[in-house]
Amino acid sequence: MNKIRLGIIGMGNMGSGHFRNVMDGKCPSVEVTAVSDINPDKLNFPKQYPDVTCFTDTAEMLDSGLIDAALIAVPHYDHPTWAIECFNRGIHVLTEKPAGVYARQVREMNDAAAKSGVKFGIMFNQRTNPLYAKAREIVQSGELGIPKRLVWIITNWYRTQAYYNSGSWRATWSGEGGGVLLNQAPHNLDLWQWIFGMPKRIRAFCSFGKYHEIDVEDDVTIFGEYDNGATATFITTTGEAPGTNRLEISGDKGKIVIEHGKLKWWKLAIPEREFCFTATEGFITPETTYEEFTDNEPEGHPIVLEKFAQAILNGTDMIATGEEGLNSLSISNAAYLSAWTNDWAEIPTDEALFEKFLKERCATEKRKKK
């Protein structure tokens, strides 16, 4: 077998985009043999391809014998449901982000995948950006020294009210499970922990419906603490224009900044902690050298899908495994819990307490999923 037979669950914006990528030859190890969507109108486009079978019943597609793997691109709450249905049938799964709405779901998904022996991946396509990969390499190799601080201002997720009105499930606790943290920022939360590691606890301030007529959060500031004393600050919103995307990471050997398509790296000649206690003057700083990296951001979605297919065919590594889908969700779950309790939230979170609060918000929200 030199190609996997892929079925796409959900032919909305993301699902149809993945379909086009395969049909345009961007994933040479993948052929789409089936698609499913509960809305028959969404199937008009794939019906133009005679080798693609269309289903309005996803379970029927999974039982058809036409697919080896499924790409899940449906609302967040349905990711775990269909993933586990696939695992129970021995079907490999690549799911859109986030893997689920709450951490317990994702642990159950990983348990089911392990039991079935199939591949489980997450569509974290921003990991394919060479600048973020370079930042990870610098931090993880120790070249930046002892980690001190991460600050990410990621406010270029601007959305109008028309965007939120475009779907009844959008920006609802019962439909999406959250706002900017669950819809726009999962990639950034993933990159945060992928590059800098997982914090031990979170203190978050979430504003719900601050800039839009929605019940979920559209403005967030998160403060994270690490066992070694390092800290992280993460600021995001869908209500600011023009927005900013600036990632700054400091260690005792220097600093890196990613902004405007560049990675800037300042290297200290002497580690700051050593310099602090050996310098004989009070107003001097360590000597620095400067390097700069630029690279074009690739089209990440087909890369992730092709790597997923290669993992099935040849046993090579995926861009992001299902186990890694738990990390970014653990941060967002902790942020919500911190905001709801007005207190620190440990990671891993109190899952029962988190789910209790989430159910309460689903029951009382004004905008209901239809």
225: β partners: 201, 231
Number of domains in the chain: 2
Say whether both 185 and 307 belong to one domain.
Answer: no
Say whether both 91 and 196 belong to one domain.
Answer: no
User: Which CATH number do you get for residue 250?
Assistant: 3.30.360.10
Domain assignment present for 163: yes
Say whether both 343 and 293 belong to one domain.
Answer: yes
What is the chain's pLDDT, residue by residue, as a tens digit (370 residues)?
799 999 999 999 999 999 999 999 999 999 999 999 999 999 999 999 999 999 999 999 999 999 999 999 999 999 999 999 999 999 999 999 999 999 999 999 999 999 999 999 999 999 999 999 999 999 999 999 999 999 999 999 999 999 999 988 889 999 999 999 999 999 999 999 999 999 999 999 999 999 999 999 999 999 999 999 999 999 999 999 999 999 999 999 999 999 999 999 999 999 999 999 999 999 999 999 999 999 999 999 999 999 999 999 999 999 999 999 999 999 999 999 999 999 999 999 999 999 999 999 999 998 766 5
pLDDT for the residue 368: 67
Say whether both 201 and 84 belong to one domain.
Answer: no
Say whether both 160 and 279 belong to one domain.
Answer: yes
Domain assignment present for 160: yes
Say whether both 96 and 8 belong to one domain.
Answer: yes
Strands of the 30-36 sheet, one edge to the other: 53-55, 30-36, 4-9, 69-72, 92-95, 120-122
- Output the CA–CA distances (angstroms, integers) from residue 278 to 144, 254, 273, in the order listed: 20, 17, 9
pLDDT for the residue 244: 98
pLDDT for the residue 169: 85
Domain assignment present for 369: no
DSSP string, 139-206: HHHTTT-SEEEEEEEE------HHHHHT-TTTT-TTTTSSSTTTTTSHHHHHHHHHHH---SEEEEEE
Say whether both 135 and 284 belong to one domain.
Answer: yes
Angle (deg, nearest 10), helices 351-364 and 103-116: 120
Residue 354 has which token pair?
């988190």
Domain assignment present for 20: yes
DSSP 227: T
Burial 102-136 (b: 16+ CB within 10 A, else e): bbbbbbebbebbeebebbbbbbbbbbbbebbbbbe
Say whether both 236 and 89 belong to one domain.
Answer: no
SS3 category, 5: strand
| Domain housing 73 | 4-126+300-319
Domain assignment present for 345: yes
User: Which CATH number do you get for residue 75?
Assistant: 3.40.50.720
Say whether both 244 and 341 belong to one domain.
Answer: yes
Say whether both 284 and 307 belong to one domain.
Answer: no
DSSP string, 273-325: HHHHHH-S-SS----EEEEEEE-PPP-HHHHHHHHHHHHHHH-PPPSSBGGGH
Domain assignment present for 370: no
Say whether both 97 and 246 belong to one domain.
Answer: no
pLDDT for the residue 235: 98
292: β partners: 264
On whether the CB atoms of residues 86 and 109 are closer than 8 A, the answer is: no
pLDDT for the residue 116: 97
Say whether both 98 and 239 belong to one domain.
Answer: no
pLDDT for the residue 345: 98
Please name the amino acid found at residue 321: T
Domain assignment present for 117: yes
pLDDT for the residue 167: 83
**Is beta strand 288-294 parallel, antiparallel or unpaired with respect to 262-268?**
antiparallel
pTM of this prediction? 0.96
